[in-house]
Structure 1
């Protein structure tokens, strides 16, 4: 049985500023959960540890970097 979301150790990145428009992550031995700080009662995304590690590897390698549009001028 998975713990209730309110019982998890939620963390927000230190890069998130005031934390009002960010995501929080709760990491347990069995699952990693992600939720929106603006609506903590809404559904959470749930990942297995191997899925989370694959996501983090992609982030570290720039796979999710925003693509800047060419200047139209």
Structure 2
């Protein structure tokens, strides 16, 4: 597994993933939107407006918890 300096840690320690060839997906085409990529069994998330900034790395259980809580409004700021 190659390493990259683009990584973030969420929860327990994660491997350093090579995200240089990741297939980033976006829910919109706007600048600054969130992008995700599936890499080696993990989910990477980054700011599409600044793709060189660090990415957050989630394992599948963490990703599911994030999505469920987001759908339930846990991160709404209003």
TM bucket, shorter chain: 0.7 to 0.9
Aligned residues between the structures: 64
Q: Does 1:45 align with 2:59?
A: no
Runs of 4+ that moved beyond 3 A:
none
State the superposition RMSD in angstroms. 1.7
State the TM-score, normalizing by the size of structure 2.
Answer: 0.69
Matches of 1:51 and 1:24, distance apart in 2: 17
From 52, 61, 65, the equivalent of 2:76 is 65
Matches of 1:7 and 1:19, distance apart in 2: 22
Higher helix share: 1
Instruction: Structure 1: give runs of 5+ residues left out of the alignment.
Output: 68-73
Larger RCO: 1 or 2 (CA < 8 Å, sep 6+): 2
Instruction: Structure 2: give runs of 5+ residues left out of the alignment.
Output: 2-15
